[in-house]
Amino acid sequence: MAQLPPHPSIVLVREFLDAIDKLDPGAARRYVAPDARFVTPGGTETGSLDEIVMRLGQRFRQIGKKIERYDRVEMHDGDVVFVSGALHGAWEDGAPFDNLRFVDRFEIRGGRIVLHEVWNDTGEARAKRAAAAAPAGGRGNADRALLAMASEVERLRERLYNLERLLAAKGLVSAVELEAHGLDDSETVPDENDPLAGMPDFLGAAEDEQGRRRR
């Protein structure tokens, strides 16, 4: 049984991907509409093929696709073509990689690509490389640092709360400010165990001194 030739939309996508793999935006531009959009992993969108090729050149020293299949869905105003397979090549530092899954989705209208969306495993692979290169115990140290920061923030929040109560007791914070901070007038007496408990005497002494000067 004779094999049918590929659909023109699949041929279009295949030739476009060949041009992109060669980092040739001029050749790739022949297959896209003037207002085409390109969405890369992470959701970044651009309308510039030059930008797409520049990003590839920055992230990879070499990249290629082992295409496993093309799937075409006929729409009322064009075609949607899915391309799936695995990426291979070398990272920007020359380290090789292989078998990173990818799926590309193309919308084609009027014989030109109007939308190209990309999903692949390169982000996860980069994260694994970074984790492998990190010093031993680095993650544990980072977790301990975060816990210490959270504890310090909570301690400072408690001190700020106590300070607001103290200032309210001295009449230095208005009722409106108390309400805005969620404080109750009945709770404006500082705790004896408050680390700022010594401040009322200090403030009171200052007020007494000002009173003596007025007299």
Answer yes or no: do 117 and 148 share one domain: no
User: Which residue in 94, 120, 91 sits closest to 105, CA to CA?
Assistant: 120
| Residue where a domain terminates, one of 83, 101, 133 | 133
Flag the least confident range among 36-45, 86-95, 162-171.
Answer: 162-171
Answer yes or no: do 123 and 146 share one domain: no
Q: Give yes or no for residue 20 having a pLDDT over 50.
A: yes
Q: What percent of the chain has pLDDT over 70?
A: 61
Look up residue 198 and give its two tokens. 């010594």
Ordered strands of the 32-39 beta sheet:
45-46, 32-39, 112-120, 96-109, 78-91, 60-75
pLDDT tens per residue, range 190-203: 555 544 444 444 44
Answer yes or no: do 126 and 142 share one domain: no
**Domain enclosing residue 166, as ranges:** 138-208
Q: How far, CA to CA in Å, does 106 sit from each of 19, 56, 81, 99? A: 15, 19, 5, 22
pLDDT tens per residue, range 161-191: 666 666 666 665 555 454 555 555 454 445 5
Answer yes or no: do 30 and 83 share one domain: yes
Q: Give yes or no for residue 154 having a pLDDT over 70.
A: no
pLDDT tens per residue, range 112-135: 999 999 999 999 998 888 888 877
By the 10 Å C-beta count (0-12 exposed, 13-18 middle, 19+ buried), 139 is classed as exposed
SS3 of residue 42 by DSSP: coil
pLDDT tens per residue, range 48-58: 999 988 888 88
pLDDT of residue 171: 64
pLDDT: which is higher, 39 or 160: 39
Indicate the number of domains in the chain: 2
Average pLDDT over residues 90-108: 95
